[in-house]
Amino acid sequence: MSLLPILSTEFHLTQTRKGQEIFHSFSRGLCPVCRELVDGARIIRDGKVYLRRQCPKHGMQESLISGDVEWFLKSLSFARPGIQPKEYSTNVEKGCPHDCGLCPDHEQHSCLPIIEITNHCDLECPICIVQNRHNYHMTRTEFVSILDGLVRKEELIDTVNLSGGEPMLHPEILQFIDTARQYRQFTRLSISTNGLRIASDWEFCQQLAERGVYINLQLDSLSNQSLRTLRGTGRHDTVKQKALENLERAGVRTTIVATIARGVNDHEIGDCVRLVMEKDFILSLMFQPAAYTGTGGSQFGPHDPLDIITIPDIVRCMEEQTGGDLKRSDFLPLPCSHPGCFALTYLLKTEDGCIPFPRFIELENYIAAITNRGTIRPDDRFDEMLRNTIDQLWSAAGQIPDSPRILRTLKRALRLMFPDDRRIELEERLRLGEGLVKTIFIHAFMDEHTFEVDRIRKCCTHYALPDGRLMPGCAYNMMYRHRDSRFTGPIGTAQLRIPGQ
């Protein structure tokens, strides 16, 4: 079957018979066999969107990239011009994605730099997307070099993330935290973790709280059956529960990160949402549709690239499993990265529950507040959005459900974060605002089957390397990680732990 020809310069969705195909647009992707860049096209069939590539060596390959064509088409309207970084690290020579660093062809700055401080881990997760070789801990010199480079390139960054491996295994993790917290250009410091050390070391948990860090706790499910499938042998549910208890007791601000695999834990999406709604110390929830790459993920299965879970599928599951407390209309693509990479909603915490922002804020005000940012920043732009929304709610009293409750909450937010008698620093406003807002993100990483150059060009989630390069996340995972000189050499001895033992 050959690629379908272009029928018009603009695409209009029409009613089609089952199995009939419509060409949407050209794309560049990877052959999942040899990982060479190949030409392809996005094809619409049976209400879904597929990426079809033609490799000269391995023939035609097809993968699902969106489980809902209407979501896909609407999401394209949210694309916004990006913001260039202050400094580039590589030149344009071979073309995207062979010049990553960032090069001048990249279309977005770094909203979320990730620093992998170790490749040691005490788990061997069947779904892991990285390649833990247990042979590297970042040095203090490398760490400081990366932080200095981020300041030169970005000046102000909302969140810097420490990752791994398991970053809590780094012998200088607390010293690294203290070093990063000295940089006033970084508003938040977050750490991604499996939670094993947090569950077993109360004193360490207190030290994290004292340093004001944010924890991204990997928690894919509340049932041990699903956790064992995704994370391996052990009583993961017991350990996760203890980690949550320690984080709440210590007052550590937490994000739950849930990898969702079709047929494994997609029926438990609503449980994750309810957990976040019930716990004040949990600020946000990040769903990640499973990416089938890395040491674990590439072997995870059975995996059918034509039947994976995508962003609109997770949105649909949330609506069904929360009884409509969250709706499809509450979620929008993030106008920062490529529309196919992120979707999110912000929820206003009122005295009687949470209300999604899109239900009471005009779309243009909402989009303006989050364009080219990974998160809402409580700055002058946010202040203006709140005041405009209060004016609109006041004039439209009775037309928007729950408007009195929303108005009370927004006015309280203004008084807390933007008082008339003094100016509060950004970091303090951020902490105050976190008590009023929760966030649900969906972040779709790419693998060999779903990789598209268009998405990489707009990536705003970057791995920060000691040599100064900022590597778009999925490009690094697909094309650079296995050649990173830090991670080559003999594989070390893994100090694995079975959770609950």
What is the full per-residue pLDDT of the chain (501 aa) written as tens digits?
Answer: 333 333 333 334 444 556 689 999 999 999 999 999 999 999 999 999 999 999 999 999 999 999 999 999 999 998 888 888 889 999 999 999 999 999 999 999 999 999 999 999 999 999 999 989 999 999 999 999 999 999 999 988 989 999 999 999 999 999 999 999 999 999 999 999 999 999 999 999 999 999 999 999 999 999 999 999 999 999 999 999 999 999 999 999 999 999 999 999 999 999 999 999 999 999 999 999 999 998 889 999 889 999 999 999 999 999 999 999 999 999 999 888 999 999 999 999 998 889 999 998 888 777 777 766 667 777 777 788 888 888 877 766 556 677 888 888 888 888 888 888 888 887 788 888 888 899 999 999 999 999 999 999 999 999 999 999 999 999 999 999 989 988 888 899 888 999 987
Query: 71 in a domain, yes or no?
Result: yes
b (16+ CB within 10 A) / e for 43-79: bbbeebbbbbbbbeeeeebbbbbbbbbebbbebeebb
CB atoms within 10 A of CB 394: 10
Query: 486 in a domain, yes or no?
Result: no
In this structure, the strands spanning 112-116 and 157-163 are: parallel
Rounded to the nearest 5°, which phi and psi values hold at 346? -100, 145
Query: 64 in a domain, yes or no?
Result: yes
Closest residue by Cα to residue 171 from 136, 142, 213: 136
3-state secondary structure of 497: coil
Rounded to the nearest 5°, which phi and psi values hold at 129? -95, 0
Query: 191 in a domain, yes or no?
Result: no
pLDDT of residue 2: 36
279 close to 273: Cβ distance less than 8 angstroms: no
Closest residue by Cα to residue 454 from 471, 475, 440: 475
pLDDT of residue 386: 80
pLDDT of residue 53: 95
pLDDT of residue 146: 97
Query: 29 in a domain, yes or no?
Result: yes
CB atoms within 10 A of CB 410: 21
pLDDT of residue 341: 96
Query: 53 in a domain, yes or no?
Result: yes
- Between the alpha carbon of residue 328 and those of residues 336, 344, 471, 481, the distances in Å are 20, 11, 32, 36
Query: 15 in a domain, yes or no?
Result: yes
Residues 473, 475, 480: CA angle, nearest 5 degrees: 105
How many separate domains does the chain show?
Answer: 1
Terminal-to-terminal C-alpha distance of the chain? 54
Query: 416 in a domain, yes or no?
Result: no
Peptide bond into 81 cis (omega under 30): no
Task: List the domain range (segments joined by +) for residue 27.
Answer: 1-77
pLDDT of residue 396: 61
